[in-house]
Amino acid sequence: MKYETLAKDIIKNVGGKENVNSLTHCITRLRFKLKDESKANTEVLKNMDGVVTVVKSGGQYQVVIGNHVPEVYADVAAIGGFQAGDSEASDEKTSLFNKFIDIISGVFTPTLGVLSATGMIKGFTALFVALGWLTNTSGTYQILNALGDCLFYFFPVFLGYTSAKKFNANIFIGMSIGASLVYPTFSTITASGKPLYTLFSGTIFESPVYITFLGIPVILMSYASTVLPIIISTYVGSKIENFFKKVIPSVVRTFLVPFFTLLVIVPLALIVIGPLSTWAGQLLGAGTLFVYNLSPIIEGILMGAFWQVFVIFGLHWGIAPIALNNLAVLKFDPILAAALGASFAQTGVVLAILFKTKNAKLRSLSIPAVISGIFGVTEPAIYGITLPRKKPFILSCIGAAVGGGIIGAMGTKGYIMGGLGIFAIPSYISPAGMDRGFYGAVIGILVSFVLGFLLMFFGGFKDDEVNETKKEDSTTGGARGEVLVKQETVISPLKGEVKPLSEVTDEAFSTGALGKGIAIEPFEGKVVAPVDGVLTSFFSSGHAIGITSDHGVEVLIHVGKDTVKLKGKHFYPKVEQGDVVKKGQLLMEFDMGAIKEAGYVLTTPVIVANTTNYLDVIETEQKSIDYQEDLLTVVV
Catalytic residues: 26
Q: How far is CA 417 from CA 6, 209, 254, in A?
A: 33, 32, 38
Is the C-alpha dihedral spanning 437, 442, 445, 447 positive or negative?
negative
Q: Report the alpha-carbon distance of residue 298 to residue 408 in Å, rounded.
A: 8
Do the Cβ atoms of 239 and 232 come closer than 8 Å?
no
Phi, psi of 439 (to 5 degrees): -65, -30
Q: Report the alpha-carbon distance of residue 329 to residue 335 in Å, rounded.
A: 14
Residue type, 239: K
Indicate the helix (H) or strand (E) that contains 62: strand 60-64
Q: Report the alpha-carbon distance of residue 257 to residue 291 in Å, rounded.
A: 45
Do the Cβ atoms of 534 and 578 come closer than 8 Å?
yes
Q: What angle do CA 49, 55, 57 make, to 5 degrees?
A: 160
- C-alpha 588 chain-centroid distance: 34
Do the Cβ atoms of 277 and 223 come closer than 8 Å?
no
Q: What angle do CA 121, 109, 19 make, to 5 degrees?
A: 155
Q: What single string gives the DSSP state of each residue in 132-195?
A: TSS-TTSHHHHHHHHHHHHHHHTHHHHHHHHHHHHTT--HHHHHHHHHHHT-HHHHHHHHHS--
Q: Report the alpha-carbon distance of residue 480 to residue 273 in Å, rounded.
A: 79
Q: Report the alpha-carbon distance of residue 435 to residue 438 in Å, rounded.
A: 5
Cα of first residue to Cα of last residue in the chain, in angstroms, is 32
Per the rule left: phi > 0, alpha: psi between -120 and 50, beta: everything else, 242 is alpha
Residue environment code for 407-442, b if the CB has 16+ CB neighbours within 10 A, otherwise e: bbbbebbbbbbbbbbebbbbbbbbeeebbebbebbb
Q: What angle do CA 108, 68, 55 make, to 5 degrees?
A: 60
* Number of neighbouring beta carbons within 10 Å of residue 511: 11
Q: Report the alpha-carbon distance of residue 273 to residue 267 in Å, rounded.
A: 9
